[in-house]
Amino acid sequence: MHADIVVLPGDGIGPEIVAATLPVLEAVASRFGHRFSFAEHDIGGIAIDRHGEPLPAETLEAARKADAVLLGAVGGPKWSDPSAKVRPEQGLLAIRKALGLFANLRPVRPHPAALGASPIKSELLQGVDIMVVRELTGGIYFGDKTRTDTEATDLCRYSVVEIERVVRSAAALARGRRGHLTSVDKANVLETSRLWRDVATRVMREEFPDVTLEHQLVDSMAMHLLSRPRAYDVIVTENMFGDILTDEASMLAGSLGLLASASLGAGRVGIYEPIHGSAPDIAGKGIANPYATILSAAMLLRHSLRLEAEAAAVEAAVSSALDAKVFTADLAAAGQGVDTRSAAQAVVERLA
């Protein structure tokens, strides 16, 4: 097949991890007989520097026409002045919203060879395989904001339609996995959460009677995620809870540098990016872990291009590189670890 992929390297380690990932996609193309075209555009801080805005119209236009979007990360100290009117993260929120990407899929599957990198006891991690589905275009991140000298507000709002569609996406994934869905809310305190719980209960009863549903409050979920992670299959939750819980869940996998994500909507175009940020502390050193971005590219193959065998081949290649202890510094013992390019090269070699 031929696919047009828009590439948005962004800031910090973004360009490094994306540059390391493109050869992996090229290796997939040559092994399976596809043709992928890559078109690079600006987003985030670099777009503010070059165009005065974090999401230039041409970037959005290109993303709309593409088959899929591969993104690095945005942000950094250069643009983080709290009084700044334009911020890199606005570009990210805007492109997700503009493309209608309401479901953010974040798989958490600790790799046996990397268990030692997690602060959690290895025996709790064996067999953990969780898919977190985070609502991405609603809730408090998008609500009206006010600010005076003495107070500030952020509005949290959810509609029935917004909850229904993300619960359906999560339930469909659960149906293809172990058939269990955990819906996370704060229904004992928040009205949006009570609506969330009602809608989730109804959608599951009417449309997914074969998938078991469990409700969990976000505070106890934060605890259970670490104390009994094996108990979870698919977790669905609202925007902010999902943001926080998935960073927590990354510790199950041992490093933020291992966690991939796919942001999907009703259509086929999606944005694929690691869950981590631009890591300014290691940017430019060539030591960032590229696996999260490579695994995001695997999700791109699976969800936007419907190339399941190709996606599985990339995942197997990363898995094999980890088995061989091809670790970047975040996973390796202190003072050790290979550079970004060598880690990516190990994946390319295994694909060939």
Task: Output the smallest distance, CB 273 to ligand NAD, in A.
Answer: 6
80 binds ligand NAD (CB under 6 A): yes
89 binds ligand NAD (CB under 6 A): yes
Q: Which of 15, 75, 110, 229 binds ligand NAD (CB under 6 A)?
A: 75
Considering only the stretches 22-30, 154-162, 190-198, 273-281, report the one whose residues sit in contact with ligand NAD under the rule CB under 6 A. Answer: 273-281
91 binds ligand NAD (CB under 6 A): no
Question: Cα angle at 284 between 279 and 290, to 5 degrees?
Answer: 60
**How many binding residues for ligand NAD (CB under 6 A)?**
23
Looking at the Cβ atoms of 193 and 345, the one nearer to ligand NAD is 345
Q: Is 65 a catalytic residue?
A: no
Looking at the Cβ atoms of 76 and 229, the one nearer to ligand NAD is 76
Looking at the Cβ atoms of 203 and 329, the one nearer to ligand NAD is 329
> Would you state the structure tokens that stand for residue 306, as one six-digit string?
């419907």
Q: Is 141 a catalytic residue?
A: yes
Query: Which positions from 282 to 301 touch ligand NAD by CB under 6 A, shown as an x/- string?
Result: x-----xx--x---------
73 binds ligand NAD (CB under 6 A): yes
The single-letter DSSP state of residue 154 is: E
15 binds ligand NAD (CB under 6 A): no
Q: Which of 257, 265, 302, 317 binds ligand NAD (CB under 6 A)?
A: 257
> Would you state the structure tokens that stand for residue 151, as one six-digit string?
């107070």
Three-class secondary structure assignment of 143-157: CCEEECCCCEEECCC
Distance (Å, whole) CA 303 – CA 295: 12
Task: Output the smallest distance, CB 191 to ligand NAD, in A.
Answer: 28
276 binds ligand NAD (CB under 6 A): yes
> Beta strands 68-73 and 103-108: pairing type?
unpaired
> Would you state the structure tokens that stand for residue 72, as one six-digit string?
């690095």
Host H or E run for residue 237: strand 234-237
Order the strands of the 234-237 sheet from edge to edge: 35-40, 2-10, 68-73, 271-274, 260-264, 103-108, 130-135, 234-237, 180-185, 212-217
82: three-class secondary structure by DSSP:
coil
280 binds ligand NAD (CB under 6 A): yes
233 binds ligand NAD (CB under 6 A): no
Exactly one of 141, 232, 272, 291 is catalytic; which is it? Answer: 141
59 binds ligand NAD (CB under 6 A): no
Do residues 103 and 170 make contact, with C-beta atoms less than 8 angstroms apart? yes
Alpha helices in 35-100 (DSSP H): 45-51, 57-65, 88-98
Closest CA to 70 of 302, 300, 275: 300
Considering only the stretches 74-82, 108-116, 232-240, 313-321, report the one whose residues sit in contact with ligand NAD under the rule CB under 6 A. Answer: 74-82
Distance (Å, whole) CA 326 – CA 111: 13
137 binds ligand NAD (CB under 6 A): no
Q: Is 281 a catalytic residue?
A: no
Do residues 240 and 218 make contact, with C-beta atoms less than 8 angstroms apart? no
Site for ligand NAD in 301-340 (CB under 6 A): 330
Do residues 121 and 277 make contact, with C-beta atoms less than 8 angstroms apart? no
Binding site for ligand NAD (CB under 6 A): 13, 17, 73-76, 80, 89, 92, 256-257, 273, 276-282, 288-289, 292, 330
Active site residues: 141, 186, 219, 243, 247
